[in-house]
Amino acid sequence: AQKITQTQPGMFVQEKEAVTLDCTYDTSDQSYGLFWYKQPSSGEMIFLIYQGSYDEQNATEGRYSLNFQKARKSANLVISASQLGDSAMYFCAMREGATSNSGYALNFGKGTSLLVTP
Amino acid sequence: DVKVTQSSRYLVKRTGEKVFLECVQDMDHENMFWYRQDPGLGLRLIYFSYDVKMKEKGDIPEGYSVSREKKERFSLILESASTNQTSMYLCASSLLSEAGYEQYFGPGTRLTVT
DSSP string, A4-59: EE---SEEEEETT--EEE--EE----SSEEEEEEEE-TT---EEEEEEETT--SPP
State how far the Cα of B15 lies from the Cα of B1, in Å rounded to an integer: 38
Give the residue-averaged pLDDT of B89-96.
87
A103 to B31: CB separation less than 8 angstroms, yes or no: yes
A102 to B48: CB separation less than 8 angstroms, yes or no: yes
pLDDT class of A102 with cuts at 50, 70, 90: low
Nearest chain A residue to B34 by CA distance is A105
Percent with pLDDT over 90 in chain B: 74
Neighbours of A43 (CB within 10 A): 17
State how far the Cα of B101 lies from the Cα of A61, in Å rounded to an integer: 16
Compute the nearest-CA separation of A22 from chain B (Å): 15
pLDDT class of B51 with cuts at 50, 70, 90: confident
What is the per-residue pLDDT across A23-32, written as a single tens digit (0 to 9) for each? Answer: 999 998 888 8
What is the per-residue pLDDT across A3-37, written as a single tens digit (0 to 9) for each? Answer: 999 999 999 999 999 999 999 999 988 888 899 99
A-B contacts at Cβ under 8 angstroms: 71
pLDDT class of B100 with cuts at 50, 70, 90: very low
User: Strands, E, within B1-114: which ranges?
Assistant: 4-6, 10-13, 19-25, 31-38, 42-49, 56-57, 64-70, 73-78, 87-94, 104-105, 109-113
Give the residue-averaged pLDDT of B56-78.
95
Residue B2: the pLDDT is 66
Residue B109: the pLDDT is 96
Give the residue-averaged pLDDT of A68-90.
96
B101 to A43: CB separation less than 8 angstroms, yes or no: no
A95 to B101: CB separation less than 8 angstroms, yes or no: yes
3-class DSSP state of A84:
helix
State how far the Cα of B36 lies from the Cα of B43, in Å rounded to an integer: 6
**Would you call B58 exposed, middle or buried from its count of C-beta atoms within 10 A (0-12, 13-18, 19+)?**
buried
Amino acid letter for position A95:
R
Whether residue B101 is predicted with pLDDT greater than 90 in this model: the reply is: no
Mean pLDDT for chain B overall? 91
- Our CA angle for B113, B26, A104, nearest 5°, is 75
Give the residue-averaged pLDDT of A41-68.
92
Whether residue A91 is predicted with pLDDT greater than 50 in this model: the reply is: yes
